Chains A and B, each alone.
Chain A
Amino acid sequence: MLYYFHPFVLPFTLGAIVLFGLCIWKYVRWFKQFDRLQRAVIRKNIFSWRILAAIWESFREGILHIRISRKNLVLGYMHRSIAFGWFLLIVVGFIESHLTPTVNDSHPFWLAIFYRYFMHSHGNFPGAHILTTIMDVLLLYVLSGILMAVIKKIYSRALGMKKATKHVVFDRFAKASLWCIFPLRLLSESLSATIYHNGGFFTQFVGDLIPLDFALTFETTSWLLYSVALGTFFVSLPFSRYMHIFTEIMLIFFREWGVREKKERTGYTMYELSACSRCGMCIDNCPLNKELNVNNVQSVYFLRDLRYKKNKPEIADNCLLCARCASDCPVNIDLMAIRQQERNKRDLDTAGNYSYLDNVQPFNALGRVGYFGGCMSHLTPGITESMKAIFEAAGQRYWFMDEDRSICCGRPLQQQGFNQQAADLRRKITEHIKKSKITMLITSCPICYQTFKKDYKLNIPVVHHTEYINQLIQKGRIKLRKDDLKTVYHDPCELGRGCGIYKDPRQVLKATTHLVKAKQEGEDSLCCGINLGDSLIDIDQQKKIRDAAVENLMYKKPDMIATACPMCKKAFVHSTTLPVKDIAEIVRENMIPNTTAQTNPKKA
């Protein structure tokens, strides 16, 4: 074994040992912080088929970076070339070193890394030349990625990023060591090629340009520097953003096994924090950055401060919870959940505040569907009135749960970190709903919809009114006429990115009007600004965000703005001369009075 040894392999070897030691230590520590349910779900799923899905996703996202490529091809290339290129360098290098017949048949693990120093000829095995060529191609591939990273550092717009992340000093240090690795590898291999003529097409070409004297003097130094760069990078990795390389893969496995964020921080959150690569994809589209030029609250900085325990409440609070960053995140970190965890109000979050809700009279709604307007729909009575008219036209017996007095669904409290109080409200509403024996819950407000769907355990279907109206149309229970108004649809954050409802509202609108596109829509839609997520920005700042959202909708010069959220509606009404209507209102206006629907029992 010692035949293939030179002191310069030590920085690399020690670095690698420290790296894996630290990573394992951290991972074990975080795993111990998982809560009982999270462990139970892992035990249940650990040996299921999901593991194959996890392996596939790890390869796709950890190495090929498909999600980031979908958002931005050039950035995708940059990340892929470094990750995939380096991965292949390791794999092919390993194969190459193991195919080569060696003295005493020893293959120390650094042999693949320092192969050209120890092996003075192309390996004595068939196909050795091909492998040498492949290694050169891979090195060039990685170097092209590094070059792009350097360009991005100097001028990020060249790679389609308006703003790149501002990194902390330690991250820059780690990055510098990473950037040094590959040019040093090229230099070392070329110097060895000068002496031993064992290079590939590229390293040999570079090597031939170097004078022999120079090569003889500096070869060992160059290999030493290469080893030091590797070692430095390895040691700094667990403390820098590069921790994401391994953590992302761990995260993918946990996620695939069914682990999710909780209301309080757990070990899983620690994995998520370290899985953030600080790529900065969340910065450009953040409405606070784009419209208000607030540059320190974006998820990348929020997670970083949290990881290094420098978090401040004003960072956690300054976020609209519009989830645009979460949809842009190539690692799919549950950013909204972490943000809400950090808003935990602890001492202020007292239980038993809402005892006044105990005397809400129970209502027997057997055989009816429940309709929950939500607080905000009470400010836009057009929506609730339209829903009543639609229920009647469809011959559906319904119970308007909060017609006289509205109870909050609890999500606004939850968003601000009042966990106990929100749970209190949820418990009261759940009781109320269970007593009424309704068969289905329809809500008009996406904020309520999201919490009914995700936080409540109701055991009955919960639908948003756009889904419900779509069902009515599909079943022919209401008939609509089609007008030719050009209508643009605004995706509410809570309904679209929050619950993934993009299709139903559009199908309904296509049935009644002429739907046109917005500039950015679906997952990329903009937040209306007037929401309950942010408790720090004031109304003038909110208006700026709203105006940008309206601007985005004006792309195809529509005649009408349609939305599916009372808050978005209220936001837009004051910002444009166009009519702003909820889908329920549009449907009601275009409903053909249908007497058969009510009397036809088959369709009911």
Chain B
Amino acid sequence: MINFGYTIATTRVVNIDNCDFEKLHELEALVPSFKRCMNCGACTATCSAQQFIPFNIRKIKSLFQEAQYDKLSKELEKCMLCGKCTLVCPRGISLRPAIMNMRKILSVK
């Protein structure tokens, strides 16, 4: 295939009926502000880790909300917990605690 330098995004259709939202509910109970997200991406733009590698905290958040937990645990380990995302969040979401709690919830098998 010709390399255009960009690709068509792979399909991300999620059948919500087949999803298990237990972990999301657990997170929302621990960090209620998580629901307030408006997907602006300020967190990702400011992220320290993102400056080194493709690391997208907004995407992680979206995947978590869609109950797509595969590989998230590995991805979250890249975070340095510096807290910049929490400081810039226009919706005042406790993102740093949310990341820690996501790590915790995902580590429970």
Q: Do A and B come from one complex?
A: yes
- A: residues with CB less than 8 A from B are 347-348, 350, 353-354, 356-357, 360, 375-376, 378-379, 404-408, 410, 412-413, 416, 418, 425, 530, 532, 535-536, 538-540, 567, 570
- B28 CB to nearest A CB, Å: 13
Cβ of B52 under 8 Å from chain A: yes
A-B contact pairs, 11 of them (CB 8 A): A347-B107, A348-B104, A356-B49, A356-B53, A378-B46, A378-B84, A407-B80, A413-B80, A416-B100, A418-B81, A535-B96
- The residues of A that contact B103 with a CB separation of less than 8 Å are 348
- Contact of A375 with B82 at beta-carbon distance under 8 Å, contacts A532-B96, A538-B92 already known: yes
Q: Check B33 against A539 for contact (C-beta < 8 Å).
A: yes
Cα separation A32 to B52 with both chains bound (whole Å)? 46
In the complex, are the beta carbons of A408 and B87 less than 8 A apart? no
- With most chain A CB atoms within 10 A of its CB, the pick from B51, B53, B80 is B80
A379 surroundings in chain B (CB, below 8 A): 46, 84, 87-88
User: What is the distance, in angstroms, from B12's C-beta to the closest C-beta of chain A?
Assistant: 25
Instruction: Contact check, B52 vs A405: say whether CB atoms are below 8 A apart.
Output: yes
Q: Are B81 and A567 in contact (CB under 8 A)?
A: no
Report B10-43 CB contacts with A as 1/0, cut-off 8 Å.
0000000000000000000000110000000000
Which B residues are CB-close (under 8 A) to A353?
Answer: 77-78
CB closest chain-B residue, reference A570: B87
Query: Mask for B87-98, Cβ within 8 A of A = 1, else 0?
Result: 110001110110
B48 CB–A CB distance under 8 Å: yes
Whether A535 contacts B100 by the Cβ 8 Å rule is yes
Given contacts A375-B84, A404-B51, whether A539 and B97 have CB atoms under 8 Å apart is no
Given that A347-B107, A356-B52 are known contacts, is A539 also in contact with B92, CB under 8 Å in the complex?
A: yes
Q: How far is the CB of A108 from chain B (nearest CB, A)?
A: 61
Task: Assess the A535–B51 pair: CB atoms within 8 A.
Answer: no
CB neighbours (8 Å) of B78 from chain A are 353-354, 356
- Shortest CB-to-CB span from B97 to chain A, Å, is 4
CB contacts (< 8 Å) of B96 on chain A: these are 412, 532, 535
Q: Are A375 and B83 in contact (CB under 8 A)?
A: yes
Total interface residues in chain B, CB < 8 Å? 26
Verify B87–A538 contact, CB threshold 8 A. no
Bound state CA distance, A376 and B87, in angstroms? 9
- Quote the shortest CB–CB distance from B107 to chain A (angstroms): 6
Chain A nearest CB from B13 CB (Å) reads 31
A408 touches B88 (CB 8 A): no
CB-based contact A530/B87 at 8 Å: yes
Q: Closest B residue to A347 by CB, please name it.
A: B107
Q: Does A538 contact B32, Cβ atoms closer than 8 Å?
A: yes
A408 to B51: give the CA distance in the assembly, Å. Answer: 12
B97 touches A407 (CB 8 A): no
**By the criterion CB–CB under 8 Å, are A405 and B104 in contact?**
no
Q: A407 contacts B94, CB within 8 Å?
A: no
- Measured between C-beta atoms, what is the minimum distance from B34 to chain A in Å? 10
* A535 pairs with B97, CB closer than 8 A: yes
- Which residues of B from 31 to 72 have beta carbons under 8 Å from A? 32-33, 46, 48-49, 51-53
Q: Which residue of the partner chain A has the closest CB to B83?
A: A532
CB of B48 within 8 A of CB of A535, answer no
Q: Which of B48, B78, B81 has the most CB of A within 10 A?
A: B81
Report the Cα distance A570→B77, complex, angstroms.
27
Q: How far is the CA of A413 from the CA of B79 in the complex (A)?
A: 10
- Asked if A408 and B80 make an inter-chain contact with CB atoms under 8 angstroms apart, the answer reads yes
Query: A323: shortest Cβ distance to chain B, in Å?
Result: 18
Nearest chain B CB to A362 CB, angstrom units: 15
User: Inside 8 A of B83's CB, which chain A residues have their CB?
Assistant: 375-376, 412, 532
A540 to B93, CA, bound (A): 10
A536 neighbours in B (Cβ, 8 Å): 97
Let me know if A416 and B81 touch, CB within 8 A.
yes
Q: A412 and B80: CB pair below 8 A?
A: yes
Residues of B within 8 A of A540 (CB): 92
Complex contact B87–A539 (CB within 8 A): no
A530 to B84, CA, bound (A): 11
On chain A, the residues within 8 Å of B100 by CB distance are 416, 535
Contacts of A567 in B (CB 8 A): 87
Q: Which residues of A contact B92 (CB under 8 A)?
A: 538-540
Give the distance to chain B from A89, nearest Cβ to Cβ, in Å: 53
- Interface pair B94/A538, CB less than 8 Å apart: yes
Most chain A CB within 10 A, of B84, B87, B92, B107, is at B87
- A401 CA / B51 CA spacing, docked (Å): 14
CB <8 Å contact, A348 and B33: no
Q: How close is B45's CB to chain A, nearest CB, in angstroms?
A: 11
**Quick one: closest A residue to B79, CB to CB?**
A353
Beyond the given pairs A412-B80, A532-B81, 5 more chain A to chain B contacts, judged by CB atoms under 8 angstroms and listed by A's residue number, are: A379-B46, A379-B88, A408-B80, A535-B96, A539-B94
Q: What is the minimal beta-carbon distance from A292 to any residue of chain B, in angstroms?
A: 15
A538 in contact with B33 given A356-B78, A378-B84 (CB within 8 Å): yes
* CB <8 Å contact, B53 and A412: no
B46 surroundings in chain A (CB, below 8 A): 378-379
- When distances are taken between beta carbons in the complex, the residues of chain B under 8 Å from A375 are 48, 82-84
Closest to B88 in A: A379
- Which residue of the partner chain B has the closest CB to A351? B77
Least CB distance, B33 to chain A, in whole angstroms: 6
A494 to B106, CA, bound (A): 32
Residues from chain A with a CB closer than 8 A to the CB of B107 are 347-348
Is there an interface contact between B33 and A407, defined as CB atoms closer than 8 Å? no
Report B-chain residues with C-beta under 8 Å of the C-beta of A357. 52
B31 CB → nearest A CB, Å: 8
Residues of B within 8 A of A378 (CB): 46, 84
In Å, the complex CA distance between A105 and B97 comes to 71
Residues of B within 8 Å of A538, CB to CB, are: 32-33, 92, 94
Q: List the A residue with the shortest CB-CB distance to B103.
A: A348
Indicate whether A535 sits within 8 Å of B94 (C-beta atoms), given known contacts A353-B77, A379-B88.
Answer: yes
- Using CB atoms, name the residue of chain A closest to B94: A538
Shortest distance from the beta carbon of A414 to any chain B beta carbon, whole Å: 10
List residues of chain B with CB within 8 A of the CB of A418.
81
CA distance A418 to B92 in the complex (A): 24
Which residue of the partner chain B has the closest CB to A531? B83
Cα-based distance from A412 to B107 in the complex (angstroms): 21
Known: A406-B51, A408-B48. A354 touches B80 (CB 8 A): yes
